Structure 1
Amino acid sequence: MALLECGARVWLLVAAVMFLLLQARLFSVQTKYADRIALAVEGENKCSHSKKALIDQFSVQQGRIVALEDEKERLENKNAQLSLLVRDYRRMGKEVPKLVGTKPVAAVVIMACNRPDYLDRTLNSVLKYQRLVAEKFPLFVSQDGPMESVKAKAKSFVGVGYMQHLEGDPPTRNPGEIVAYYKIARHYKFALSQLFDIRGFEKVIILEDDMEIAPDFFDYFEATSSILDCDKSVVAISSWNDNGQKQFVSDPTALYRSDFFPGLGWMLTREFWDELSPIWPEAYWDDWLRLNSTRKGRQFIRPEICRTYNFGEHGSSMGQFYYKYLVPIKLNDVHVDWKSYDLESMLKEEKFNKELARRIALATPLNNVDENILKMVENVNRDIRIVYNSQMHFESLARAFGVFEEWKDGIPRTSYKGIVVFRWKGNRVFLVRPDSREALGYNADVF
């Protein structure tokens, strides 16, 4: 009996050893397989990264191919356009001028989506003046979305390049938000990337498909483009004045610095785009440009009399402000010889501040204004200044005159150093903050 028990123990011991050896073998095999799986996963990740890099590279190359095709089409259209001009010169018995290669001042892009009738009106207005300066201002249409009638309309015009942005509806941050504002922001980033990063332009002028332009639109932008090169305190040139209604303007040569981004026909540089593009917002791009954190203390140039007219009653903003503020806008119709003005010097910050402070100092102060403010202003019959002490106070004054009351990030529309200027019966009205004098760097105690 003892012998049997001893044999059983031996067999149990042998079985235990065999089991341990088998487990060790299995562990070794599992370890090898785990290592192989890890290597396989690592290899798959590398393949995925390589694939993504190839896709990105392919997308860039595809974008360049599309850009080259567009450029080819643009050159063919330009050739056809030049042929028409040559024919017209010969028909009128005039000598055909010699063509000299010209470096573009800026590319011009019309942002379009789903309004072919609006686009037709805008293109006809722009081409009326652009054909004479096509070398300096190459023209493009950028369409957001697949609407064939818009594409056909854009391609029906000779000398116009075409770009198309096709992307699904982006997600919104908050329930109930209008997705159009997100789509517009994406479209703007696409169009600016195409013109700056792919096609290599140094400056771009942005229009929308519901705008007409003034006869001196291109002269204005050519004359002011050098300001962007020499004055780094200015980041964009606009053709728009929010308070540019007929009753508030009179001088077609007057230009102003502004802390408030006007938009609606504006020019920016590649340098500014390189700063903006990595942080471009998901939506509300224009209000984002009006933030102090985006502007960083820099200004925009705007005219007193608009060089663009917005006829877009129907659009993403659903006609906001249309009848009150857009319909009465004065579109410049006077020829201005911009080349005869030293704009760089006139609009340089120190000189502009000094001249503005001088004009405000000469203006008649109007204190203790009441509900008869308009009659009080007319009785003075000269430039006046009124100090406002708060946003609410400013809004009540703006409401009385009929100018924009709106503020963005603490800044009233059109203002510079807290100063809003407009015309009333031909005379200037200056609405100023109590600290505007210090902001201008003007030491005399004048207001």
Structure 2
Amino acid sequence: MIRKRVSLICCVAFLFVTWNAVLVLLLLGRAQQGQPGQVQGGVAQNPTGDMVDDLNRIADTFESELRKQKDILSQILNDWSLWKPKDRKVRPPSPPVIPILVMACNRVTVKRCVDKLIQHRPSADLHPILVSQDCGHAETAQVIRSYGDKVTHLSQPDLSDVPVRPEHKKFQGYYKISRHYRWALNQVFRNLSYSSVVVVEDDLEVAPDFFEYFRALQPLLQSDPSLWCVSAWNDNGRDGFVDPGRADLLYRTDFFPGLGWMLLRELWEELEPKWPASFWDDWMRQPEQRRGRACVRPEVSRTLTFGRQGVSLGQFYDKYLRYIKLNTEFVPFTKLDLGYLKEQDYRENFQKEVYAAPVVTYEAVKQGQLTGSGPFRLQYSTKDSFKVLARNLGIMDDLKSGVPRTGYRGVVSFFSRGRRIYLAPPPGWTQYDSTWS
């Protein structure tokens, strides 16, 4: 583009000089024809009045044209100062700000959560910590305020009971949690105008590469409409059920994991108008909300829950959650190629690996009688067969809207006795059965 502009300027300048040279030659020619004392036919001639008038008109025209050409040339020189390339350093785009939203209530152990966040975050500017507190618990509020300007303390103003049907009175806590989420996420996206956020509960401890994980995956979440969240959690991530040598391994999953998850403003604008009165996480798992989209989740969890007591009264905690393996190895995700997680390539490669794996029996898996390094495929065909196999193998057996925990296209991936096992439906699977719940 710059070369074209330089050529144009040179061309205009050449025409300017040529045009004025022609004008000068014409003027000189006319002037020589009418000079006093010029001899024509042996007789000295004097200029006539008409000739003098013609000469004056030519001079005036030449002067006027010269002024116009001067103005044009001045404009060209002015424009050239704008077109001329300047030695400016190209500034890289500013890194995105990804706040961390901590959902708190009445547990002073929120300190353990916030301490780890502050310890591992690479930048306070890029990762502001917002602690949103419901319940109005004074001791918890004092703990949050003790961090000063290291965190922002948000207080949910409506502490009243939520009107519920008599049979739902025992679920009052779930209604308040859903109300709190709605209020807090509105603060993040509407009042503070952030474009993304990572949500953690006050009973979560984060891994050393927690921030690295989300920073690397935010661009993929923004660019891939088939994704709607990134989660730090593996529901079947107990020690012995994950590959200890693949802390860098990531998956797509149709199951919404929660427990440390990132969403974009665009998703919140979609969900907020229909946000449920209670049980918001199971509501997220319904097909009407998921709309065929997936989340990214890790092989080894980047969060660990230490909160046995809560509104769920420790459901699953003693049997599963307390044994989840928290990653301790820092994986430089921002330097890795994560393109394999894009939908079409991932689906094709995943299905090829799953259904190329040899089919084995439950007994062979359970008794450690497999030969070879794997992976191996263990097949289920009904809701009951899935539940029996999952329960006996030690992985979570519940389904939400027909989707098993960590499942992708019906397949649950886990480790057993050092080998990869795919608990999978028969080939040709097409969709989940929402009655499997």
The TM-score with structure 1 as length reference comes to 0.72
Match of 1:122 among 110, 113, 123: 113
Deviation at 1:276, TM superposition (A): 0.4
Compared CA separation, residues 374 and 129, structure 1 to 2 (3 A): same
Aligned equivalents of 2:430, 2:202: Cα separation in 1: 41
Q: Secondary structure at 1:162's aligned position in 2? A: strand
In the other structure, the counterpart of 1:155 is 145
Cα distance in 2 for partners of 1:170, 1:254 equals 42
Are residue 142 (structure 1) and residue 142 (structure 2) matched? no
Q: Note the alpha carbon deviations across 1:96-154, whole angstroms, 9 max, x for none.
A: xxxx99554311111000011x1111111111112x32111111100002211111111
Q: Shift of residue 373 of structure 1?
A: 4.3
Task: Return the offset for 1:314.
Answer: 0.9
State the distance in 2 between where 1:357 and 1:103 align.
Answer: 35
1:267 aligns with 2:262: yes
- Cα deviation for residue 386 of structure 1 reads 1.3
Q: What is residue 177 of structure 2 aligned with on the other side? A: 184
Match of 2:51 in 1: none
Instruction: Tell me whether 1:349 sits opposite 2:340 in the alignment.
Output: no
Once residues 315 and 298 of structure 2 are traced to their aligned partners in structure 1, the CA distance between those partners, rounded to angstroms, is 23
Structure 2 counterpart of 1:364: 358
Q: Return the match for 1:206 from 199, 203, 207.
A: 199
* Residue of structure 1 equivalent to 2:210: 217
User: Please, which moves more after superposition, 219-228 or 141-150?
Assistant: 141-150
- CA offset at residue 341 of structure 1? 1.6
Which residue of structure 1 lines up, in the alignment, with residue 313 of structure 2?
A: 318
Q: 1:382 to 1:105 in 2, by over 3 A?
A: same
1:304 is aligned to 299
Aligned twin of 2:420:
428
Structure 1 residue 339: Cα displacement? 2.2
Q: Deviations over 1:199-258 (max 9, x none)?
A: 000001100110100000000000000011110010000000100001111221111111
| Separation in structure 1 between the aligned mates of residue 207 and residue 428 of structure 2, nearest angstrom | 33
Alignment map for 1:374-413 (pairs within 5 Å): 374-375=366-367, 377-379=369-371, 381-413=373-405
Q: Which has the larger radius of gyration?
A: 2
CA distance in 2, matches of 1:156, 1:264: 25
Change (3 A) 1:436 1:259: farther
- Report the AA paired with residue 152 of structure 1: Q
Query: How has the CA–CA distance of structure 1 residues 227 and 174 changed in structure 2, closer, same or farther, with 3 Å as cutoff?
Result: farther
Letter in 1 for 2:180: H
For 1:404 and 1:139, locate their aligned partners in 2 and report how far apart those are by CA, in whole Å.
32
Aligned residues between the structures: 336
- C-alpha spacing 1:101/1:296, structure 2 compared with 1 (3 Å): closer
- Partners of 1:241 and 1:304 within 8 A in 2: yes
Is the CA contact (8 Å cut-off) linking 1:105 and 1:222 kept in structure 2? Answer: no
In structure 2, relative to structure 1, the CA distance for the partners of 1:318 and 1:377 (3 Å cut) is farther
Aligned residue for 1:110, secondary structure, equals strand
1:2-401 correspondence to structure 2 within 5 Å: 103-116=95-108, 118-130=109-121, 132-158=122-148, 159-167=150-158, 168-175=160-167, 176-250=169-243, 251-343=246-338, 345-367=339-361, 369-370=362-363, 373-375=365-367, 377-379=369-371, 381-401=373-393
Check whether the contact 1:104–1:137 (CA below 8 A) recurs between aligned residues: no
Alpha-carbon distance between aligned partners in 2 of 1:136 and 1:102, rounded to the nearest angstrom? 10
- Tell me the amino acid that sits aligned with residue 296 of structure 2: I
The CA deviation at 1:380 is 5.3
What amino acid is aligned across from residue 125 of structure 2 in structure 1?
E
Cα gap change, 1:385 to 1:377, in 2 (>3 Å): farther
Preserved contact between residue 368 and residue 417 of structure 2 (Cα < 8 Å) = no
Whole-Å Cα distance in 2 between the matches of residues 227 and 323 of structure 1? 35
> How far off is 1:438 after superposition?
5.6
The one-letter amino acid of 1:207's match is V
Q: Report the counterpart of residue 68 of structure 1 in structure 2.
A: none
Contact 1:259 1:298 in 2 (8 A): yes
Tell me the TM-score normalized by structure 2: 0.74
Q: Which amino acid is the alignment partner of residue 115 of structure 2?
A: N
What SS is found at the alignment partner of 1:246? coil
How far residue 358 of structure 1 moved from its aligned partner, in angstroms, is 2.7
Superimposed CA distance per residue, residues 257-304 of structure 1 (whole angstroms, 9 cap, x where no aligned partner): 111100000000000000000000000000000001110111111001
Unaligned runs of 5+ in 2: 1-91, 433-437
- Return the alpha-carbon distance in structure 1 between the equivalents of residues 232 and 332 of structure 2: 16
Cα 1:157/1:240, change in 2 over 3 Å: same
Please give the alpha-carbon distance, in whole angstroms, between the structure 2 residues aligned to 1:377 and 1:280: 49
Structure 2 distance, partners of 1:120, 1:273, is 28
Structure 1 Cα separation of the partners of residues 155 and 241 of structure 2:
39
Please identify which structure carries the higher helix content. 1
SS at match of 1:356: helix
SS in 1 for 2:247: coil
Structure 1 unmatched runs, 5+: 1-99, 441-447
